[in-house]
Copies of this chain bind each other. A is one copy, B any other.
Amino acid sequence: MAHVIIVRGAASTGRYGQAMAETETDAVSENRMKRKPRAANAPPAAGSGMRVRSAAKNSDIVYRDLHKAIVTMELTPGAPVLERKLTEQYGVSRTPVREAVLRLVEDGLVEVAPKSGTFVARIPLSVVREALVARRALEEVTVRAATELSSESQIMQMRAIIQHQQEMADAGDEEAFHQADDKFHASIAAAARYPGIWKMIQQVRIQVERYRRLTLPQNGRMPMVVKEHTAVLDAMAARDADAAVARMNEHLDKLQLDISIFRDLWPDYFAIDPSLDEKLFAGK
């Protein structure tokens, strides 16, 4: 995972093409001076595919890696994020590293103390509480729409995903189990035709995810999750939206059981939240 050197482009900063612009005659250069500066680029056409083939920037790579490391608790809350170290590990300059860090700040996964240091953000308990509420609300509309819109093939695919999740639970592969979990909820969102809302759910899940990484190993919740997923899917297959919503809510409610316990177990991982008013009006 660590010490991955990015070699896209010229890693060794060779100064080729350094003596080329000097070999021009005055006549030609004068001719070139007559060019008018070109106008600003036109925006891409409206109806066109709006193809933005973004060629995987270095900052994206750093961002994804760090994001994953933080969410999986590989980097624990409070751990320092050293820009210098990252530049060495990835073989890139500070700029893309900095961009990645800034995006993580936007996600609420890291915090920066201006001239002091950057650290993996602690888990604000009130945010976890709210995230659970928000996710419930969003998954509710999603599963309701999916119950109406999902095709039979999509239902079958979900059954396969649940089966796979069962197998991973039996094998005790937590990582694969998580991935299957993610895939199940994603397929619901896909069936509901709510890609944007799924994005929001993911964003919210991230905040809860780190917390869940602590809770899940505790009790043997993995088989229960599979059962709950099955209940949701059964209701969807029966085209009973209300039941599907109810099962989903029951499923999600299982997470918010014992926050205080874990705060006592890993006190350094959680943060006391600032006052509500402050957060509310910090934006403007």
Q: Is the CB of A198 within 8 A of B134?
A: no
> Quick one: copies of this chain in the complex?
2
Q: Which residue of the partner chain B has the closest CB to A196? A: B130
Please tell me the number of chain A residues within 8 Å of chain B, measured between CB atoms.
65
Which residues of chain B are near A40, meaning CB under 8 Å? 80, 82, 117
Q: Which residue of the partner chain B has the closest CB to A190? A: B280
B interface footprint on A211-243 (CB within 8 Å = 1, 0 otherwise)? 000000000000000000000000000000000
Q: Is the CB of A133 within 8 A of B137?
A: no
Given A140-B137, A190-B276, A122 and B46 contact (CB-CB distance below 8 Å): yes
Interface hub of A43, A111, A136, A193 (most chain B Cβ within 10 A): A43
Which residues of chain B are near A157, meaning CB under 8 Å? none
Bound: A40/B113 CA distance, A: 13
Q: Which of A158-212 contact B (CB under 8 A)?
A: 186, 189-190, 193-200, 202, 204
Q: Which residue of the partner chain B has the closest CB to A194? A: B130
Which residues of chain B are near A52, meaning CB under 8 Å? 111-114
Which residues of chain B are near A99, meaning CB under 8 Å? 99, 102
Q: Which of A256-284 contact B (CB under 8 A)?
A: 267-272, 274, 276-277, 279-281, 283
28 contacts between A and B (CB under 8 A): A41-B116, A43-B78, A43-B79, A43-B80, A46-B122, A46-B268, A46-B269, A46-B272, A47-B267, A49-B272, A50-B122, A50-B271, A52-B112, A54-B112, A99-B99, A99-B102, A103-B106, A106-B106, A126-B195, A130-B196, A133-B197, A137-B137, A137-B141, A193-B276, A195-B279, A195-B280, A199-B279, A199-B283
Shortest 8 CB-CB contacts between residues of A and residues of B = A130-B196, A41-B117, A195-B279, A43-B78, A137-B137, A43-B119, A195-B280, A46-B268
